[in-house]
Structure formats: C-alpha cells, structure tokens
Amino acid sequence: MGTSGVTPVTAPVGFCVIVALLITRSTGLVCYTAVESLDLGCLLQWDCPHASPNTTYTVQTKTQGDPWQDVPWCVWISSHNCDVSHAFSNFELYNMIRLGVHLNPSSTVWIKPRKFDYSDFTFSPPSISVSLKDDQLLVKVQFPCASNRRCSMERCCPISQLIDPWTTVTLYNQLNRSDYQSRTVWTQEVMSYVEFSGLSPGQNYCAVANFSFPTFSMAASSKSAPQCIQTASESGLLPVIFLGVCLTSLLVFPLITTLLPKARRDAATAENQPKTPASVPDPVSSVPPSLVPVDPCDIHLELTDDHISTEDLNSGMGNTNSSASYWNIRGKELD
C-alpha cells in the first residue's frame, strides 16, 4: 500500500529530470550570460561552451508591460555579444533580456531571461568646475554622456536627460579637513548647480562630486577629480575697499566743489542787498475823517481881542484843517 501510494508522485518527477538531462546532453545548451553596463549602456555577453562554431544567436528584450521583441541588429548573429543600449529608455520599469540559440533553422532554444536594472549600473565620475563671486562659491556639475536610443550618435546625451540623479557635492578646506560642507540635491536639469557660503577668507577650498541613481544610492558613480579655488584674504579686501572709497570720492568731490561756492555766493548776495525800511504810517492819513457833517451856521466865534483884523480871521478860516483839532465837533466854544 505504501509503495503504490508513492509511485504516482515520484515517477513524473524522475521522468522530468531524465528528460532535462537528455536535452542538456544532446543539445549542449549550457550558456552563461553576463551584462556590462556603463552610463546606462547595456552590453550582453554570453558563452556556450558546447555550442558548435556555426551556431547562431538572437537576442530579445522586454520592458514591463510589453511583449518580447527582437533586437534588430542582433538577430541570427554568430558573435557572442550584443549591445542593447538603444533598446531601453525607461529605467524605472522592469527590463529583461534573453538569449536564443538556433539549433537549426526551425528550432530555437531560449536561455533563461535575466533582468537589467540598477544593480547592473556603473557610472563614470562627473566633471565639475568652481567659481567664486563675493562670498559665494558655485560648483557646476556636468554628467557623463549616456548611450541610449533617445540620443543621437553625433552629440553627447548627458544621463540627466534620461534619469534625475541625486548629486552630492562636498566642499572642504585643503589645509583644515574639519572645515567642510556637503550638500545633496535632486537634479532635474542637464547640469547641476550647488552654492556654498560662510567660507573662511584666505583659504584654499576644494570640491568633489558624485551622483547616484534615484532612490538607489548603491548605484553611484565614483567621485570627480577635485577642483580647488582660493578665497580672498581680509588684507586682500583692503585694496578693494580703498578703491571703492576713491571712486566714491571722485564722484562726490566735483559735486561738492560745484555746489558749495554757489551756496556761498547766494548767501553773500542776500546779505548785500539793501534792506527795505518798514513803512511808517502817515499820522495825518491815519486819522479817520469825521463822519459827522458840520454846519457852518453852528460855528460861533467869540473874539477876545478887539484888534484882530479881518485878514487874520479870514486866514484862520482858510486853514480849517490845521485848527480843526481845537474845535468841538458839536460846534461848542473852545475851553
């Protein structure tokens, strides 16, 4: 009972193993594949020790969601490598590669597919340049060229056109390694720019940079060659300040020499001008005329001296304005 119960299970397994061994021994389909990747390029290499020298091969690729497709320049080839760099464009998705061995014109055996992802990536170091403006140090990072079907063969296609790398720039004092700064930025442009401030004057600073595939720091480039620059010393700033003061003086001094004499002349002219005396009111004109009319019939003269001549009387009557103050306005006699 026990033996008969095991036979149905073990027999098919043993049969499959025997068939696999027979196929392997008869066809010699023992192939080793490897992928080399540099700057998003992809080179598939293989070795089939038991294959005949006349054996031909075909390489196919597959991107997540798409069917298997032949690599047009790697169909029925006799070489043992194929550059499939131009076959992939989206590195955020799963990409697969497989090798087909043509046993005869009507029979092709496909080797187990292998993936192509960030674990295969290696990158060349970036190139950098540094510049100093005032107290700001700017580091420009340029990425290596990539091999991809999006780029033409005649020009450089930076890898930052295909991926958005994380860029890390480290700035350090060449004489004092404890004086350093490090910044990591997410680059979405063709080149990356990183600024540093708070640098000590009169020191030699050097910058290095590297980058990595997004979200996978293990797929990172090596560091760039250092680029160094010296900051201006405090004593070196004095000539600049002195020059600024001199230029300001040259601009302000002509204005002062032009405006100051003019102001002095205006003040002297104002002092030399004759002063207009204050107007003195006329005592006669200031006296308001009498508003009450006087009737000559109401004026009575009392002569105290019998010898007053008629001419004196007439002259006194003619000078009415000068003697009007001695008369009472109602025609009363003088006191």
pLDDT, one tens digit for every residue, the chain (335 residues): 444 443 344 443 333 333 333 344 445 579 999 999 999 999 999 999 989 989 999 999 999 999 999 999 999 999 999 999 989 988 889 999 999 999 988 899 999 999 999 999 999 999 999 999 878 999 999 999 987 666 666 678 899 988 999 999 999 999 998 999 999 999 999 999 999 999 999 999 999 999 999 888 789 999 999 999 999 876 544 455 556 565 666 776 666 666 666 666 666 665 655 555 545 454 444 444 444 455 555 555 554 444 444 444 444 444 444 444 444 444 444 44
Residues in CB range of 162: below 8 A, 6 or more apart: 40, 89, 91, 146, 148, 150
Question: Does residue 112 share a domain with residue 20?
Answer: yes
Question: Does residue 223 share a domain with residue 144?
Answer: yes
Contact yes or no for 122/139 (Cβ under 8 A): no
pLDDT score for 29: 78
| CATH number of the domain that residue 107 is part of | 2.60.40.10
* Structure tokens belonging to residue 279: 């107007």
Domain assignment present for residue 331? The answer is: no
Sign for the CA dihedral angle at 285, 287, 293, 295 comes to negative
Domain assignment present for residue 161? The answer is: yes
pLDDT score for 332: 45
Q: Which residue in 69, 43, 70, 41 sits closest to 57, CA to CA?
A: 70
| Number of other residues whose CB lies within 10 A of the CB of residue 55 | 15
Beta-sheet pairing, 191-196 with 43-47: unpaired
Question: Does residue 156 share a domain with residue 105?
Answer: no
Q: Tell me, what DSSP letter sits at residue 40?
A: T
Torsion angle of C-alpha atoms 148, 154, 155, 156, degrees rounded to 10: 50
Question: Does residue 216 share a domain with residue 181?
Answer: yes
Question: Does residue 162 share a domain with residue 145?
Answer: yes
Among 234, 266, 286, the domain-final residue is 234
Domain assignment present for residue 321? The answer is: no
pLDDT score for 232: 84
Domain assignment present for residue 112? The answer is: yes
In the sheet that holds 43-47, the strands lie side by side as: 32-36, 43-47, 81-83
Question: Does residue 17 share a domain with residue 115?
Answer: yes
Question: Does residue 101 share a domain with residue 163?
Answer: no
Domain assignment present for residue 279? The answer is: no
As a whole number of angstroms, the distance between CA 205 and CA 195 comes to 13
The number of folded domains in the chain is 2
Read off the pTM: 0.60
Question: Does residue 46 share a domain with residue 112?
Answer: yes
Question: Does residue 99 share a domain with residue 18?
Answer: yes
Domain assignment present for residue 208? The answer is: yes
Cα 22 to chain centroid, rounded: 68
Question: Does residue 156 share a domain with residue 73?
Answer: no
As a whole number of angstroms, the distance between CA 33 and CA 36 comes to 10
Question: Does residue 141 share a domain with residue 224?
Answer: yes
As a whole number of angstroms, the distance between CA 207 and CA 137 comes to 10
Beta-sheet pairing, 180-186 with 204-213: unpaired
pLDDT score for 207: 97
Sign for the CA dihedral angle at 46, 51, 53, 59 comes to negative
Among 120, 144, 164, the domain-final residue is 120
For residue 195, the enclosing domain spans 127-234
Domain assignment present for residue 335? The answer is: no
Domain assignment present for residue 153? The answer is: yes
pLDDT score for 170: 97
Question: Does residue 159 share a domain with residue 114?
Answer: no
Q: Which residue in 278, 40, 247, 280 sits closest to 145, CA to CA?
A: 40
Residues in CB range of 319: below 8 A, 6 or more apart: none
Among 104, 120, 136, the domain-final residue is 120
